[in-house]
Amino acid sequence: MREVAVIGTGMTRFGELWDSSLRDLCVEAALGALTSAGTDTLDSIYLGNMSAGQFVAQEHLGPLMADYLGMAGVPATRVESACASGGMALRSAFLEVASGMSDLVLAAGVEKMNDGADVTGVLATASDQEVEVYYGVTFPGLYAMIARAHMEKYGTTEEDLSWVSVKAHRNGARNRKAQFRRAVSLEEVMSSSMVAEPLRLLHCSPVTDGAAAVLLCPLERAREFTDRPVKILASGAASSTLSLSHRKDPADLDAVELSGRRAYKMAGLAPSDIQVAEVHDCFAIAEICCYEALGFVEQGKGKDAARDGLTDLGGKIPVNTSGGLKSKGHPVGATGIAQAVTIVEQLRGEAGESQVEGARIGLTQNMGGSGASSVVHIFQGV
């Protein structure tokens, strides 16, 4: 396999983007990636998207994106893995370049969630229809069950969950593309409306429109396009049961653990080598569980990480310096690519107020459903 580098990035603002269509968002992010790499050609396109057919009644997104990007004729493929669609699109692009099949491959992600669809119903398609949805379970409900299991097993409290949200908003306030650019206090989080006990409104990620893109090429060619390439050291993926009830331990995100283990093995690294990370915090409890599954802390110790500053900017392992899904926003098909954009900026030293000093190794972890799919990428500045 060839070594692969990111040579360009592009990303729209995240939020309720009423004046931009799905295709507008795709093109804006893709052009940003191409422009930053100084090229106008592509060999292939992968587009992560969860549910455009239900959100905006548009399927067959690959050709649509190629057409509106002015690249009709280029092979273009949509990738779907629920909220992990973006990360899986990046994995597909990485593998195509690594295999030697193509040199310039765009990995993008997009979602337009605010145009009138029943968002709760659309997102529920990522869970088990017969075992979960039929009985009325929603995604806040599923993650509330995960939170309850973690509380019962490890003594996690609602305040522990709330510190994750406080950190997310503190970071998001520094991100000019974030959906919510304001800090929140612990008291605000703990007094926000109850959604699915014990999860409150400010423990939950928002409904978001947005797109992001990264351009990949062989590492040996990267200097043709940028003087600051970022190498992709590893890509690890895994799956678990679709239904939360079929898992041995709801508090253990086993697909995250397995995808992380595979990525660490491929990179020849350990969790202690990671200097900055973006993980899938669709709900505050998800971030806590991801700390543990990725080996950043011991099992059961994730509840203390945000409160103690371990994962804050300036902490031992800064996590979600972008504001994460909670504050930056969560356009489900774009999230995994947006995570990669953040890590590339960190490793290039371009993160501004959110910069982790001296960061050379970064990680992204993108998850689908209640943890039924997970993909982890590890990056290195070169």
The confidence score (pLDDT) of residue 222 equals 98
Q: What is the largest CA-CA distance in the chain?
A: 56
Among 193, 224, 255, which residue terminates a domain?
Answer: 224
The confidence score (pLDDT) of residue 116 equals 87
Q: Which of 26, 83, 217, 290 is catalytic?
A: 83
pLDDT tier at 211, thresholds 50, 70, 90: very high
50 shares its domain with 169: no
- Any domain includes 45: yes
102 shares its domain with 201: no
- Any domain includes 91: yes
200: Cβ contacts below 8 Å, ≥ 6 apart: 158, 162, 189, 190, 192, 193, 194
184 shares its domain with 211: no
Task: Express as a percent the part of the chain with pLDDT over 70.
Answer: 100
- Any domain includes 128: no
- Any domain includes 374: yes
197 shares its domain with 68: no
238 shares its domain with 214: no
3-state secondary structure of 135: helix
Query: Within 13-157, where are the H helices?
Result: 22-37, 52-55, 61-68, 85-99, 119-124, 139-154
Extended strands (E) in the chain: 4-11, 44-48, 76-79, 105-111, 194-196, 199-200, 210-218, 230-239, 276-278, 361-368, 373-381
Arithmetic mean of pLDDT, 298-309? 96
- Going from the C-alpha of 252 to that of each of 240, 296, 309, the distances in angstroms are 11, 14, 23
Tokens for 72?
Answer: 């009709």
Q: pTM of this prediction?
A: 0.97
Q: Say how far apart CA 333 and CA 359 lie, in whole Å.
A: 27
The confidence score (pLDDT) of residue 319 equals 98
80 shares its domain with 156: no
At residue 48's C-alpha, the angle toward residues 44 and 50, to 5°, is: 150
* pLDDT tens track for 323-342: 999 999 999 999 999 999 99
Structural Rg of the chain based on CA atoms: 19
- Any domain includes 132: no
Residue 217, phi then psi, degrees to nearest 5: -155, 170
107 shares its domain with 154: no
360 shares its domain with 349: yes
175 shares its domain with 291: yes
* pLDDT tens track for 129-185: 999 999 999 999 999 999 999 999 999 999 999 999 999 999 999 999 999 999 999
3-state helix, strand, coil in the chain (%, to 5): 40, 20, 40
* pLDDT tens track for 216-237: 999 999 999 999 999 999 999 9
Among 224, 256, 281, which residue terminates a domain?
Answer: 224
Kindly tell me the burial class for residue 248, based on how many C-beta atoms sit within 10 Å of its own C-beta (0-12, 13-18, 19 or more): exposed
The separation between CA 189 and the C-alpha centre of its own chain, rounded to angstroms, equals: 23
Structural domain of 54: 4-118+207-224
272 shares its domain with 282: yes
Residue 204 a catalytic site member: no
Number of domains present in the structure of the chain: 2
Residue 289 a catalytic site member: no
Arithmetic mean of pLDDT, 285-301? 97
Is the separation of the CB atoms in 212 and 63 below 8 Å? Answer: no
- Any domain includes 293: yes
CATH number of the domain to which 375 belongs: 3.40.47.10
Q: Which residues, in sequence order, are bridge partners of residue 278? A: 364
151 shares its domain with 110: no
303 shares its domain with 191: yes
Q: Which of 169, 280, 330, 377 is catalytic?
A: 330
The confidence score (pLDDT) of residue 14 equals 98
